[in-house]
Structure 1
Amino acid sequence: MFDLMPFRRNDDVFERMMKTFNEMFDPNALAPFANANSFRTDITEKEDAYLVEAELPGFSKEDITIDVHNNELTIRAKRDQTEESKDEKHKFIRQERRYGEFVRKFYVDNIKEDEISATLDNGVLKIHIPKKTKEGPSGKRIQIQ
């Protein structure tokens, strides 16, 4: 296979087979697939709101949907493979860019759903989620009649 380093092909079949066999026992072998349909996200809490920041480089706002339903915030980003990438005249030696649908879901509670706002700037999606105002302790004194 085409490795990043040392940028040379090795046609020794036995050596390639041994390398493949040894890679199966590497503890990090499955790491690239652990979050294959996910993206990096930071969530911060302020006194009056939550701020969700998600890294979505290469996506336009038309590729992203944000939904809140039953206390669940869902961020969905979809990237289709371009036609030029599917060109059969050229074969990939190495393809590292991912295509498809990427989804993250978060539980949210006590928020003002109607006031949620979002912006996308330089591949960073920022979602501002206002909290509901805290009500004081509730209670009522009952008069005896």
Structure 2
Amino acid sequence: MFDLMPFHKGNEDVFERMLKTFNDMFNTNGLAPITGSTNSFRTDITEKDDAYYVEADLPGFSKEDITIDVNNNYLTIRAKRDQVEESKDEKGKMIRQERRYGEFVRQFYVDNIKEDEISATLDNGVLKINIPKKAKEAPSGKRIQIQ
């Protein structure tokens, strides 16, 4: 008998609603990939008193595909994936390809670390990096006598 109708302000422009509906229809892609940076990967960074801990999600990469460098106080993680031929349908047409290929890079500023003691492991697509810190030095100071 009665239908629920959404509440609209009386001053809302009917043309604007039609235009928005039209644009939404063409801008929506049910097959679109999840939005995000195309040449990056997700990381978690934790700082403790003695070290920094980095965890990076790199599913599908082997340890041979990943390089970790420290240069001028920047830790750089690179993961490179080469494109592999995929099987296609009977007409040789790829229906949808979501897997990304190329080089994925993240860079972080790190200071006061022991570069020679950095270690990394890759387990189930998660790269874990342990970055030990140098011991904190007590702030140096000097009292100046007034003459």
Q: Distance in 2 between matches of 1:76 and 1:106?
A: 12
Within the candidate set 6, 10, 24, 2:27 is matched to 24
Q: How many residues align?
A: 122
Question: Matched residues in 1 for 2:126 and 2:138: separation?
Answer: 37
TM-score w.r.t. the length of structure 1 is 0.72
Q: Trace 1:121-136 onto structure 2 (pairs within 5 A).
A: 121-136=123-138
Higher CA-based Rg: 2
**C-alpha spacing 1:31/1:121, structure 2 compared with 1 (3 Å):** closer
| Aligned positions of 1:1-145 closer than 5 A | 22-24=25-27, 32=35, 34-82=36-84, 84-85=85-86, 90-139=92-141
Q: 1:57-85: CA deviations, max 9, x gaps?
A: 11000000001111111100000011x32
The residue identity in structure 2 corresponding to 1:91 is: K
Give the 3 Å change call, closer, same or farther, for CA 131–23 of structure 1 in structure 2.
Answer: farther
1:23–1:71 Cα change, 3 Å: farther
Unaligned runs of 5+ in 2: 1-20
1:20 CA drift (Å)? 8.3
Percent identity over paired residues: 74
Distance in 1 (CA, whole Å) between partners of 2:87 and 2:28 is 33
AA of the residue aligned to 2:124: N
Structure 2 letter corresponding to 1:53: E
**What TM-score do you get using the length of structure 2 for normalisation?**
0.71
AA of the residue aligned to 1:37: N
Amino acid at match of 1:125: L
CA–CA distance in structure 2, aligned partners of residues 99 and 19 of structure 1? 34
Mark the runs of 5 or more structure 1 residues left unpaired by the alignment. 1-17
Q: 1:38 to 1:140 in 2, by over 3 A?
A: same
Aligned CA-pair RMSD: 3.0
Work out whether residues 88 and 94 of structure 2, in 8 Å CA contact, stay in contact via their aligned partners in 1.
no
**Hey, what's the Cα distance between the residues in 1 that align with 2:33 and 2:109?**
27
Q: Cα offset for 1:92?
A: 1.0
Three-state SS of the structure 2 residue aligned to 1:85 is: coil
Deviations 1:92-116 (A, max 9, x none): 1111111111000111111111110
Q: Secondary structure at the match of 2:86?
A: helix
* SS of equivalent residue, structure 1 residue 22: helix
